[in-house]
Amino acid sequence: MKKKDIIEFEVDKMEFGGTTVSQLGNREIHMKGGISGQKVKAAVKKVRSGKADVKMLEILEKSTLETQTPCKHFNECGGCTILSIPYEKQLEIKEKQVMDLFLKQDLFGFQFQGIQGSPQDKLYRNKMEYTFGDEVKDGPLTVGLHKKGRHIDILTVDGCFLVDQDFVKVLTSTANYFNEKELPYYRGINHKGYLRNLVVRKGVNTNELMVNIVTSSQIDFDMTEYKEMLLELDLEADLVSILHTINDGLADAVQCDELRILHGRDYINEELLGLKFTISPFSFFQTNTKGAEMLYTMAREFVGDHSDKVVFDLYSGTGTIGQVMAGAAKKVYGIELIEEAVVAANNNAKLNNLNNCEFIAGDVTKTVKNLKEKPDLIIVDPPRPGVHKDAIRDIAGFNSNEIIYISCNPKTLVLDLVEFKNYGYEVEKVKCMDMFPNTPHVETVVKIVKK
């Protein structure tokens, strides 16, 4: 086998994160994508002793696991890679993937409570960030998601299973409206053009909707007619916020140079487990509201009785977890990097009449050691790269009896748990929560205790 060879094989094992490992003769084939049992054609990218990295070119035969009818964009859209597998089977696969990662690090001897499915496996997303572009070069304007493995080709995903009809109506009417206006979309290659993103957010428990149209400042277009068009749509939710964000940043990310309110207010409300949260256009909020309620309930169960305890909520975002704990706790301290989120967290705590919460802006790695009070319980919910080694040292240094680790990436989770083990913390219980049905992602909640 050598580079650029075209090979055919049957996909064997799906690893966490959407990669697969298959055996071809005495060689291990590593590939991005694929479902166990599929027969695929692939191009060899790199050969090492006993291993090869390949790029999938074509699915020759479906897997017997694929018995569910996917949406019309499946295999073209880069979104839901396992939508063709029935939901119960998806859960089984994810549960095993997480368990395998624990065993690989010699982490065993704990109570494994399996995986909890999302309350909804479709229509569960409360936020979509769509991009303007075209599907084929110089074709009509599209707005939607990137085609699988492509940076510039955009599909108007009007048949997406992850969002409700309000999202679809806003998406298709926006595509039609701007197609008629013949405005250019923004091209990342030369940084020229106007239309960049369309962000739609919904308060699932409050039925409030936000539409945020993101453009460059290169054209001075009057958005009044667009706003009127949106307000005339027949939507289930209340459209309480229509925003126009000017973004001249060079990176392919939504940032804000200027925010113009076209209609209503610049935030929506959401409720979680009876608590109120205001969501601003750029702040992080769990994208599956009903799933988040389950995740936080799970975390609360893992904590058990926390009455009169001092709790640290590290990587606190808008302070959701801390506030869920604050009802019973004596005091909650949160640390979060993004200043805007910290302001929102402190405001939300006031809104919920919680006077025992203090959210602080800072990097956990640098700031946590400065907290003066001794915690009885520490909760960490880091982003995908996990907790920095120095932060693990400082967190363990507080000597609290219990730590709850909520993770969106089990690969870094298990490495961090090994590190915590070096400081005397043993894994007591583990449970997975599927916040992202039909995609390869999964959330994991772990309780570790000081031995």
Contact set with ligand SAH (CB under 6 A): 284, 286, 315-318, 320-321, 335-338, 341, 363-365, 381, 383
Q: Where are the alpha helices (DSSP H) in 65-186?
A: 87-104, 165-181
Q: Which of 194, 201, 212, 393 is nearest to 289 (CA)?
A: 201
Nearer to ligand SAH, 238 or 390 (CB): 390
State the virtual CA torsion across 92, 98, 100, 101 in degrees, nearest 10: 170
Q: Is 381 annotated as a binding residue?
A: yes
Question: Could you say which of 71, 160, 357, 408 is catalytic?
Answer: 408
Cβ contacts of 246 within 8 Å, gap of 6 or more = 214, 215, 216, 217, 256, 257, 258, 259, 260
CB 209 within 8 A of CB 136: no
Q: Which of 339, 358, 336 is nearest to 349 (CA)?
A: 358
Distance CA 94, CA 352 (A): 36
CB 51 within 8 A of CB 28: yes
Nearer to ligand SAH, 193 or 334 (CB): 334
Distance CA 245, CA 328 (A): 40
User: Cβ 382 to ligand SAH, closest distance in Å?
Assistant: 6
CB 245 within 8 A of CB 258: yes
Q: Is 423 annotated as a binding residue?
A: no
CA 427 distance to own-chain centroid? 25
User: Cβ 167 to ligand SAH, closest distance in Å?
Assistant: 21
User: Cβ 398 to ligand SAH, closest distance in Å?
Assistant: 16
Q: Is 226 annotated as a binding residue?
A: no
User: Cβ 261 to ligand SAH, closest distance in Å?
Assistant: 24
User: Cβ 381 to ligand SAH, closest distance in Å?
Assistant: 4
Nearer to ligand SAH, 63 or 348 (CB): 348
Nearer to ligand SAH, 155 or 204 (CB): 204
Backbone angles phi, psi at 246, to 5 degrees: -95, 125
Distance CA 293, CA 386 (A): 22
Q: What residue type is 413 in one-letter code?
A: L
- The tokens describing 263, both together, are 């209609």
Residue 432 designated active-site:
no
Backbone angles phi, psi at 422, to 5 degrees: -60, -20
DSSP designation for 77: B
Which residue of the chain is nearest ligand SAH when measured via CB? Answer: 317
Nearer to ligand SAH, 97 or 286 (CB): 286
Nearer to ligand SAH, 128 or 341 (CB): 341
User: Cβ 314 to ligand SAH, closest distance in Å?
Assistant: 7
CB-neighbour burial class of residue 324 (10 A; exposed 0-12, middle 13-18, buried 19+): buried
Q: How far apart are the first and last CA of the chain?
A: 51
Q: Is 135 annotated as a binding residue?
A: no
Q: Which of 137, 135, 196, 198 is nearest to 171 (CA)?
A: 198
> Which residues are annotated binding-site positions for S-adenosyl-L-methionine?
286, 315, 336, 381
Binding-site residues: 286, 315, 336, 381
Active site residues: 408
